Structure 1
Amino acid sequence: MQVTVRETPLKGCYEILPAVLGDERGSFIKTFHAPAFSRHGLCTDWREEYFSVSQQGVLRGLHFQTPPHDHAKLVYCVGGAVLDAVVDLRRESPDYGQHATIELNPDKANMLYIPAGMAHGFYVLRGPATMMYKVSTVYSPGHDRGILWNSAGIPWPDDNPLISPRDAAFEAFCDFESPFS
């Protein structure tokens, strides 16, 4: 599988661009190929896969799971478009507290590989947006956490997005004590 792996400003977080095969019928995209991911040192042992559908103007996040159920994620958008965002929560990382954003959409066929120890969220630029997720650990409700969407310096395109009550109640990044080393 031909795949391009681009570094983001955050160590261990990558934009992945798979080969897109297209003709007059449309396109075909392989979103995961274990040998290609292994060559780049990326997770190949996914435990769960799911998707979400969100309307334009929705913001989901910033979510993560704490140790020992923290996980790597592979996310991509198969419908609509999103501004995807990650925040480095790893205390000893030189990027601790920094964020990166990238637009994900099916036209670009790009994906974001997010290592364990990062918070993840997205804002729907064009909806409805369907986001696919692969994660390396099984969901653990007792380890499911988040930080407040507007507390980490991310330049979101909307100051008043539609968010869930749960996401609105997360603590601010400045009050967060990271369990990630």
Structure 2
Amino acid sequence: MDVIPSLIPGCYELLPRIIHDTRGAFIKTFHFDSFREKGMETRFQEQYYSRSRKRVLRGLHFQNPPHDHVKLVYCTEGEVLDVVLDMRRSSPTYGRHIKVNLSSNNGNILYIPKGLAHGFYVLSEHATMVYNVSSTYSPESDDGIHWTSGGIDWPDMDPILSDRDRGFKRFEEYESKFI
């Protein structure tokens, strides 16, 4: 797989080789040696997925230290606009974000280091997102940033949101716990 660095240090877009034949496609989403060569985390503690419909926006989510985690995310059905926002105060890209279209057709993957808030907006009729995380869920560490902050230009300013996502503080008001 090709590992493409993003603007944000430690955040990568992974482009796996897709094998097509008469049955469909086969995509490898994880390869230990490729991750290890780039210094990426390889010990994932939980894996889960979400199903969402068009216009749903989930995020921007993260876990605070000491339960912060690396995320490896990809879309197995449909297409999403995936966004990460750098929350690490000592990072040269603190407060900056990147956007990547993830889709089941192109099979790309996003590797998100600790200290980044993550969210996505569903572009297709439905989308299924898979998440691998390097720490187990900790309710007391679970947090988020309001989706309208951080200078992110979403494709829809009236998305379908959870009450939880509506209630997060804006990035500008949030005191980051990430060094």
Work out whether the TM-score is over 0.5: yes
Quick one: which of 151, 154, 176 aligns to 1:153? 151
Residue 166 of structure 1 aligns to a residue whose secondary structure is: helix
Partners of 1:127 and 1:41 lie apart in 2 by: 36
User: What residue is the counterpart of 1:144 in the other structure?
Assistant: 142
Quick one: which of 162, 165, 177 aligns to 1:164? 162
1:8-27 pair list within 5 angstroms: 8-27=6-25
Tell me the C-alpha RMSD between the 2 structures: 0.6
1:56-135 pair list within 5 angstroms: 56-135=54-133
TM-score by length of 1: 0.98
TM-score by length of 2: 0.99
Q: Aligned-pair distance for 1:36?
A: 1.6
Moved over 3 A (4+): none
- What letter is aligned with 1:15? E
Q: CA offsets per residue over residues 78-117 of structure 1, 9 Å max, x none? A: 0010000000000000100000000000111000000000
Partners of 1:80 and 1:24 lie apart in 2 by: 21
* % identity of equivalent residues: 54
Residue 44 of structure 1 aligns to a residue whose secondary structure is: coil
Partners of 1:9 and 1:108 lie apart in 2 by: 21
Partners of 2:18 and 2:57 lie apart in 1 by: 28
Q: Aligned-pair distance for 1:127?
A: 2.5
Task: List gaps (5 residues or longer) in structure 1.
Answer: none
Identify the range of structure 1 (30-39 vs 170-179) with the bigger mean alpha-carbon deviation: 30-39
Partners of 1:151 and 1:67 lie apart in 2 by: 22
Q: How many residues align?
A: 179
Residue 126 of structure 1 aligns to a residue whose secondary structure is: coil
